[in-house]
Amino acid sequence: MTERTRLSAADLDLVVIGAGFSGLAMLHRARRSGLTTRVFEAGGDVGGAWYWNRYPGARTDSESHYYCLSFSKELVDEWSWSERYASQPEVRRYLEFVADRFDLRRDITFDSRVTSLVYDEQAAVWTVTTDSGEQVRSRFVVTAIGLLTKPNVPDFPGLADFAGELLITSRWPDGADLAGKRVGVVGTGSTGVQVVPIAAETARSVTVFQRTPNYVVPAHNRALDAADVADLKRRYLEIRDKARAHSFAMPFEPGHGLTADFTAEERNRIYEEGWATGGFHFLFETFDDITVDEEANESAAEFIRSKIREIVEDPETAELLCPKGYPYGGKRPPVGHHYYEAFNRDTVELVDVSRRGTPIESVTPAGLRTADGREHALDVLVLATGFDAITGGMDEIDVRGRNGRTLREEWAAGPTGFLGFGVHGFPNLLAISGPGSPFANIPVCLEKNVEWIGDLLDHVDREGIDSVEATEEAAADWGRRVHDAAFATLLPRGESVNTWFLGANIEGKPFSVGVWFGGANVYFDVCDEVAAQGYPGWELTSRRD
Ligand code: NA7
């Protein structure tokens, strides 16, 4: 950044919070613009979500060749994925490789959690304070903290008195061993679905406490051979462009059309193909109306139920595992690795802790007590209970914008913001994957966010601008569009089953559509257009004006 625009009151041009996928990409982009940048990371190394979520079975639900960064051809050429869906250790190694390849660590301070951000309007500078007491003043702050940062730990009575080992999946300690133990798993979201089959391989018993069953489609993971890897590297630009043109940012083919246009037999053949291909291909490449049409959704949902009944030998268990009463996609659907098959083991038991079943009453020193008075004896209690998503991470930081207004106040009724990037009243604070940005394949989305922010900061530099702020009107208008886009689909019906992208999984959190469901591709176009038109919806001010 040129001296002309750099204010003497600031130590830095940019502070980035978080050193996961987005923080690393942002730091690299900021260096290209010549910005003096520091990254603060709460973890002990790079990785973000992939640093913390070390539970057994953790891996990507998207395929590795598009769950990665594409901004550098060298990165693509020099890194080879070993599996179709990368395991957590491999993703972590990848991000370490990214950090080393671009010598990023020298600008990152680890074990350093940002606790407050205070804006000085006169100087147009943020004071950033960390839990070690360090303070820096920076012109811009970019939050790269991800959507799923703050663990949700239910307040079960007696939890503190549990005499066994309590393990929270997103804070999994190295070396925790489930072999030979009686393991209880609370939660059957994407995380629980990954933990259960792996735990079942070695534990003495696994008791799965399920409140809401999910629609789990098998991943069909496999090793990638040299020919696969060479092919993916050769096609990487084509893959990236295809992902950017897709509504969920995945390099997928369109579906076959509308469900009702096909006979029952033809539908079944298409579902079978989708099931055999695996993962999100089932949702996005079978029919195009699954997320918007009730009958189409129910048809796909019933196919999944038929598969559960086919796989799970005990009919009662199969029935309990069948999701009912909410649409497929109303909760983010997990991708399974022999999940339903795990319930055919004698050592795995499913306990229905929904209101219709036997809800969890308390944790006792010896295990977990359900409403029928039964005490499930446990050596290890695993909480796969999700996150205070989207806003939880920012809520932990004391953010004070113009006139001392806090972000907690601003977001009391639900998060606001323009394009997910900026909140009115909080100038020069920009977010990657902020509220109102797409919920889709994250690396593709965050890379577009990083490019956009990088271009905005270049524009600021060129034009001698000191302060960048989303206008109230633009934020309100985008909020309406986010709401309407979601309500054009069946997805808001997930509220009845505690869906996190609606804030419904945290007691007392206001209902709010926290993510853009109008298509990642549409969002990218809107962002490009805003940049091309000189940033309408943003107030760009120079103190020299
Ligand atoms: P999720 O998808 O929010 O799942 C959390 C699970 O924990 C879910 O099954 C919850 O049941 C269950 N849960 C939460 N609180 C309780 C209590 N108090 N009692 C019983 N069960 C409870 O989190 P994940 O970590 O699995 O996945 C998060 C995202 O990571 C995922 O969507 C992907 O984007 C990657 P519920 O459904 O609320 O009845």
For residue range 351-410, list pLDDT tens digits in order: 999 999 999 999 999 999 999 999 999 999 999 999 999 999 999 999 999 999 999 999
Q: Could you give the C-alpha distances from 433 to 115, 171, 207, in angstroms and in order?
A: 20, 22, 35
On whether the CB atoms of residues 402 and 119 are closer than 8 A, the answer is yes
Alpha helices in 35-87 (DSSP H): 49-52, 73-78
What is the C-alpha end-to-end distance of the chain, expressed in Å?
19
Q: How far is CA 15 from CA 128, 247, 509, in A?
A: 8, 31, 29
| pLDDT tens digit sequence for 195-225 | 999 999 999 999 999 999 999 999 999 999 9
161-208: pLDDT as tens digits: 999 999 999 999 999 999 999 999 999 999 999 999 999 999 999 999
How far apart CA 112 and CA 186 sit, in angstroms, is: 30
Ligand 1 centre distance from Cα of residue 103 (Å): 37
> With the C-alpha atoms ordered 299, 304, 307, 308, is the resulting torsion angle positive or negative?
negative
Who's near 345: CB < 8 A, 6+ residues apart?
200
- In this prediction, what percent of the chain has a pLDDT beyond 70? 98
Q: Which pLDDT band holds residue 5 (cuts at 50, 70, 90)?
A: very low
DSSP codes joined into one string, 81-123:
-SBSS-BHHHHHHHHHHHHHHTT-GGGEE-S--EEEEEEETTT
* Strand-pair category, 12-17 with 37-40: parallel
114 CA to centre of ligand 1 in angstroms: 27
CA gap 288, 259 in Å, rounded: 8
Distance 333 CA to ligand 1 centre (A): 11
**According to the model, what pLDDT value does residue 7 have?**
47
Prediction pTM value: 0.97
Q: Say how many Å lie between the CA of residue 116 and the centre of ligand 1.
A: 29
Q: What percent of the chain has pLDDT over 90?
A: 97
Q: How far is the CA of 185 from the centre of ligand 1 (A)?
A: 11
508: left (phi over 0), alpha (psi -120 to 50) or beta: left
Which residues share a beta bridge with 400?
118, 406
Backbone angles phi, psi at 277, to 5 degrees: -75, -40
Pocket test for ligand 1, best of 59, 67, 172, 190 (most atoms within 8 A of CB): 190
171 close to 58: Cβ distance less than 8 angstroms = no
Distance of CA 484 to the CA centre of its chain: 22
Q: Which two tokens stand for residue 294?
A: 């009730």
Which residues have C-beta atoms less than 6 Å from ligand 1? 148, 154, 186-192, 211-212, 332, 353, 360, 384-387, 497-498, 500, 505
List the residue whose alpha carbon is closest to atom 27 of ligand 1: 190
* Residue among 258, 332, 254, 257 at smallest CA distance from 295: 258
Q: How much distance in Å is there from the Cα of 193 to the middle of ligand 1?
A: 10
The residue among 41, 62, 11, 69 whose CA lies nearest residue 446 is 69
DSSP 8-class letter at 502:
G
Which residue puts its alpha carbon closest to atom 34 of ligand 1?
332
Query: Would you tell me the crossing angle of helices 236-244 and 226-234 to the nearest 10 degrees?
Result: 60
Measure the CA–CA gap between 216 and 193, rounded to whole angstroms: 8
Cβ(488)–Cβ(455) below 8 Å: no
